[in-house]
Amino acid sequence: MATNTSQEFDSVIAVCKSLFIKKTKDYGTAWRILRPSSITDQIFIKAQRIRTLEEKKVSMVDEGIIPEYIGIINYCVMGMLQLEFADGDSYDLPLEQVERLYDEKVKLTKELMFAKNHDYGEAWRDLRISSLTDLILMKILRVKQIEDNAGQTLASEGVDANYQDMLNYSVFALIKLGLK
């Protein structure tokens, strides 16, 4: 079966971006008040819920795994954007700017995904979805440690690269779950 990773990626992102833009129209850019560490915690909550649903197979809230992965993708974009804004920057951003910035972050993340896919031969296609969840949780713990170290690393990539990896792992999971 032939695959078109670029098309699958774009299809998943279109769903995520559509929701992001709708929520921006509803709420504005209220997420701008969140510190990056708070965004990391939100991603953790979503990833932990996915893991719980994978293990228990029962949901007490009428939302499944797919909306949680979508949430991770959108929080990762928020996180990458927050890393670029300075303290004191306006919390209110025009919708057009939000959309442009969203596209820029996703474009950079997609480029990273293709570079890694070249080197790893799209190994993600052979992973279990639960492994992608675990990889996201591991990346979250790494980010929390980097944040606790005030962003300082000795031999590791920074928070933004980890957000990109979590976004890509979430896209992979959604592709594997059949979101189109």
d(CA 4, CA 19): 23
Q: Residue 1's pLDDT is what?
A: 43
Smallest Cα–Cα separation from 134: which of 102, 97, 173?
Answer: 173
Q: Which domain holds residue 35?
A: 5-176
Please work out, in degrees rounded to the nearest 5, the angle formed at the alpha carbon of residue 69 by the alpha carbons of 59 and 67.
Answer: 55
The answer to whether the CB of 159 falls within 8 A of the CB of 83 is: yes
Smallest Cα–Cα separation from 45: which of 20, 19, 72?
Answer: 72
Q: Residue 2's pLDDT is what?
A: 47
Q: Which two tokens stand for residue 82?
A: 């927050």
The answer to whether the CB of 137 falls within 8 A of the CB of 48 is: yes
What parts of the chain have a pLDDT lower than 50?
A: 1-2
Phi (first) and psi of residue 85, to 5 degrees: -80, 145
Domain count, the chain: 1
